[in-house]
Amino acid sequence: MQRFRTVVAAVTLAVAAAASLTACGDDADEGASGAKVLKLWHYEGETSAMGVAWDKAIEVFKQEHPGVEVRFERKAFEQIQQNAGMIINSSEGPDVMEYNKGNATAGLLSKQGLLTDLTAEATKRGWDKTLSPSLQTTARYDDKGVMGSGNWYGVPNYGEYVMVYYNKDLFDKNGVKVPTTFDELTAAMDTFVAKGVTPLGTAGAEYPAGQLFYQLALARADRAFVDNYQLYKNPVDFKADPLKYGADTFAEWVKKGYVGKGTASAKAEDMGTAFIAGKTPMIVSGSWWYGRFKAEMKANWDSFLFPGNKLHAGSSGNIWVVPATSKAKDLAYDFIDITMRPEIQALIGNNGGVPVSADPSKITDPKDKKLIENFNAISSTDGLAFYPDWPVPGYYDVLVSGFQGLINQSKSPDQVLDAIAKPYDEGVAEIKRG
Amino acid sequence: MAATDALVTRGDTDPKGRRGPRRRRGDAGYWLYLLPGAVLFALVIGGPLLFTGYLSLTRWSGIGDPTFVGLENYQRLLDDTVFWQSFRNTLAMIVAMVVVPTVVGLVLAAVLFDTIGRRFKPRTANALRAAFYLPQVLPVVVAGIVWGWILRPDGALNGLLDAVGLGALTHDWLGDPDTALPAVMGVMIWVQIGYPVVVFMAALQRVDPELYEAAEIDGAGWARRFRAITLPQIRPETFVVALTCTIAAMKVFGPIYALTRGGPENATNVPSYFAYYTFFKKLQVGYGSAISTVLTLIIVVVALLFIRAQHRAERRDGSA
């Protein structure tokens, strides 16, 4: 029996020791004020536009804060997406961190009091002037964690938007002119169909189909619709335009052969690689493809904004947040401010990204310049309409499932609208319940 | 073992000579060996299981404090068509991961052992066994991605159909709600088949070869030997295979995640993916926990029924 007690005592001691070690951490070198360490996390690739720009920002920060150590850790997107709440609720979190914008992510953390209110800093440092109203939407959250109003809890410094990419060589070969209106776009697609070419690449198993539907709906939408749909200002009728128009037109495009019927199970990557390989004349997708097409595509290509639309799917990029537990908040604000400076913004632009406040004259590559000019044109006219899956958590899969039904024609537009309306209404009710 | 010995000795010298205390005290020694496993079980399975049960009675987004809502999540489950569809799809998974592999595995194992193993060199049977087992060695997500390539509209299967003049049969196999579930079932049969083959062949190694030889001398054909010798001899392994595969089918997740994410239109959704989606994507932790709890309870009940059936069969065999 004595041995049994010894084993129990040893196990208890080991568990207690492990627990106390976990609780201690290694923060002994950081003071509560006058911090000498800035812990910084983000999840951008080393060679991506933002990765390059933020490396430079860290360098500038070090020059301007001699004696402050920057502890940078590159995290995986999923790692932060799934664990942010737990991480920043502990003493192990960073002082400044890149985080996903939106109600289900930054909104949720702000509602729980886990993020620092940056309103005073935004005014003091002029971020509220640099960022257009539609870019500010993802920076501000109300007390229910709903974006678009309330205090600042994040700062975006790059953007993204959806456009039409086209293969110039295929257009020339088939005698198709670059469309400037919606009618010209459908006429161009008719020409391709008549020649046996499916004009528009898409992917039903991931975001492209939903974004195409949203672009079509936005053709009949105004800012009030976007506010109702994304910010729940008023109830949304899914059986009325613009959503009805979006679903009907999508179904019509499938019937007319503008969109391949066999793309219900295709992934975004399939759509992109088919475009790169010169198999598809056009795709409707986001600015995140830009750098890759520049690097990998052999055929001549270019892009234009979705013809006729004043509103476009797009938003700020992810945001810098300062966890409430940060011990070096002033240093975190300084770092965010550096990333907003013209030289860092230009670096994002010159590496294929979309800076939020870059001077196009500082962008050397004509293609990059066009990307940024188009973004500035949308952003300055309050034309960013966010993404269709944003309103409620888990809506992405609902839309994917719905539009797969339209692509393979197993569902009518009305049935799809019903299928996507119910989870939307339930999700909004859940959010409003708080 | 001094402590245990001492207990046993005290039990032996019980003045009234009762056996009860001796057995109880003797058993206490075994508990010591069970302790590490019990502690691990409590920490890794028991604790989280109880906590999941508690969370299923709350509304919670994963951050902040959960709100206690009683049985609300379970009431919601009863009206949730996706939940019921996911369980219907589980039945299809049981067919694909238990019924077909077990039946085909039995026949394959018997053919490999009784025919190929005896007529050719054992190496041939071993090579074939390894070939059948190969999909089990592949990480299931890798297998899922590769099958995704094969089944996609411009994938290898449609290419093959085109090449042999059956272009009319080409299809978006995973994109059509009518074909997605059968396609996933086909992949799962391919993944699962090696497991029963290997287990049944190992079981056949312990069958006395004289039984087969005697049957053959008596003129029993392959089918007769299979029915009269193979099936009864490897019944315990059949139970094990059926039980483990049924549990695997009920909690299948990886292949669904890699192949279809439950789509199109929930045609391939299963309870574990539905729970994951509700938990991590919709951030409805309470509701996701209710789905997981129901799934766990069903798996436990099914496992108990299997074990009971196995005991009954063993008792019957013992008394026969």
Can you give the pLDDT at residue A27? 39
One domain for residues A66 and A209: no
Q: Nearest CA of chain B to the CA of A378: how many Å?
A: 30
Assigned domain for A293 exists: yes
- Tens-digit pLDDT profile for residues B115-168: 787 777 778 888 888 888 989 888 988 999 999 989 988 889 999 999 999 988
Query: pLDDT band at residue A379, thresholds of 50, 70 and 90?
Result: confident
Q: Would you list which residues of chain A are within 8 Å, Cβ to Cβ, of chain B?
A: 1-4, 7-8, 11, 82, 85, 89, 104, 108-109, 111-112, 114, 204-205, 260-266, 270, 392-394, 396-397, 400-402, 404-405, 407-408, 410-411, 419, 427, 430
- Tens-digit pLDDT profile for residues A18-40: 433 333 333 333 434 578 899 99
B175 inside 8 A of chain A by CB: yes
Can you give the pLDDT at residue A123? 95
Contact status, residue B196 vs residue B101, Cβ threshold 8 Å: yes
Mean pLDDT of the A399-406 span: 90
Q: Which one of A114, A264, A396 has the shortest CB-CB distance to B175?
A: A264
One domain for residues A209 and A108: no
- The tokens of B46 are what? 């028991």
Can you give the pLDDT at residue A7? 41
Decide if B281 and A419 are in contact by the 8 Å CB cutoff: no
Q: Nearest CA of chain B to the CA of A182: how many Å?
A: 29
B38 inside 8 A of chain A by CB: no
- Tens-digit pLDDT profile for residues A227-284: 999 989 999 999 999 999 999 999 999 999 999 888 888 888 999 999 999 999 999 9
Q: Nearest CA of chain B to the CA of A113: how many Å?
A: 9
CATH, range B84-281: 1.10.3720.10
One domain for residues A207 and A328: no
Within 8 A of A208 by CB-CB distance, chain B residues are: none
One domain for residues A120 and A222: no
Assigned domain for A414 exists: yes
Q: Where are the domains of chain B?
A: 45-79+284-319, 84-281
Decide if A264 and B152 are in contact by the 8 Å CB cutoff: no
Decide if A394 and B174 are in contact by the 8 Å CB cutoff: no
Nearest alpha-carbon partner for B149 in B173, B185, B181: B173
- Which residues, numbered 234 to 263 in chain B, qualify as contacts with chain A under a Cβ-Cβ cut-off of 8 Å? 260-263
B48 inside 8 A of chain A by CB: no
Assigned domain for A353 exists: yes
Can you give the pLDDT at residue A1? 40
Q: Write out the residue range of the structural domain in which residue A172 sits.
A: 161-314+388-433
Can you give the pLDDT at residue B97? 96
One domain for residues A165 and A241: yes
Greater model confidence, B206 or B44: B44
Is residue B19 pLDDT above 80, yes or no? no
Predicted model pTM? 0.78
Across chain A, what does the average pLDDT equal? 87
> Minimal Cα distance from A112: which residue of B?
B64
Can you give the pLDDT at residue A4? 40
Q: Nearest CA of chain A to the CA of B177: how many Å?
A: 8
Query: pLDDT band at residue A205, thresholds of 50, 70 and 90?
Result: confident
Q: Name residues whose C-beta falls within 8 Å of residue A211's C-beta, 6 or more positions apart in sequence.
A: A162, A284, A285, A286, A313, A387, A388
User: For residue A259, what is the domain's CATH number?
Assistant: 3.40.190.10
Is residue B4 pLDDT above 50, yes or no? no
Mean pLDDT of the B271-291 span: 91
- Tens-digit pLDDT profile for residues A158-179: 999 999 999 999 999 999 999 9
Rounded distance between C-alpha atoms, residue A84 and residue A64, angstroms = 29
Nearest alpha-carbon partner for B80 in B251, B285, B271: B271
One domain for residues A328 and A419: no
Decide if B172 and A270 are in contact by the 8 Å CB cutoff: no
The ipTM is 0.70
Within 8 A of B161 by CB-CB distance, chain A residues are: none
- Tens-digit pLDDT profile for residues A92-138: 889 999 998 888 789 888 988 999 999 999 999 999 998 988 889 99
Q: How far, CA to CA in Å, does B85 sit from each of B52, B82, B262, B263, B270? A: 23, 5, 11, 12, 8
Q: Which one of B264, B281, B282 has the shortest CB-CB distance to A264?
A: B264
Assigned domain for A52 exists: yes
Q: Nearest CA of chain B to the CA of A112: how many Å?
A: 6
One domain for residues A299 and A392: yes
Can you give the pLDDT at residue B44? 94
Contact status, residue A307 vs residue A184, Cβ threshold 8 Å: yes
Greater model confidence, A35 or A156: A156
> Minimal Cα distance from B267: which residue of A?
A401
B72 inside 8 A of chain A by CB: no
Assigned domain for A334 exists: yes
Within 8 A of B276 by CB-CB distance, chain A residues are: none
From A305, A336, A358, the end of a domain falls on A358
One domain for residues A399 and A266: yes
The domain tally of chain A equals: 2
Assigned domain for A219 exists: yes
Contact status, residue A199 vs residue A281, Cβ threshold 8 Å: yes
Rounded distance between C-alpha atoms, residue A194 and residue A5, angstroms = 85
Nearest alpha-carbon partner for A118 in A138, A100, A88: A138
One domain for residues A329 and A420: no
Q: How far, CA to CA in Å, does A174 sit from each of A48, A190, A297, B146? A: 35, 11, 19, 35
Nearest alpha-carbon partner for B290 in B77, B68, B87: B77
Q: Nearest CA of chain B to the CA of A117: how many Å?
A: 18
Across chain B, what does the average pLDDT equal? 86
Can you give the pLDDT at residue A61? 96
Decide if A408 and B277 are in contact by the 8 Å CB cutoff: no
- Tens-digit pLDDT profile for residues B20-46: 445 555 667 788 889 999 999 999 999
Neighbours of A66 (CB within 10 A): 6
One domain for residues A212 and A337: no
One domain for residues A299 and A345: no
Greater model confidence, B305 or A11: B305
Greater model confidence, A30 or A398: A398
Assigned domain for A4 exists: no
Can you give the pLDDT at residue B24? 57
Q: Which one of A8, A263, A404 has the shortest CB-CB distance to B265?
A: A404
Q: Nearest CA of chain B to the CA of A95: how many Å?
A: 19
Mean pLDDT of the A293-312 span: 92
Within 8 A of B79 by CB-CB distance, chain A residues are: none
Is residue B10 pLDDT above 60, yes or no? no
One domain for residues A267 and A194: yes
Nearest alpha-carbon partner for B265 in A247, A397, A412: A397
A14-35 burial code (b ≥16 CB/10 A, e <16):
eeeeeeeeeeeeeeeebeeeeb
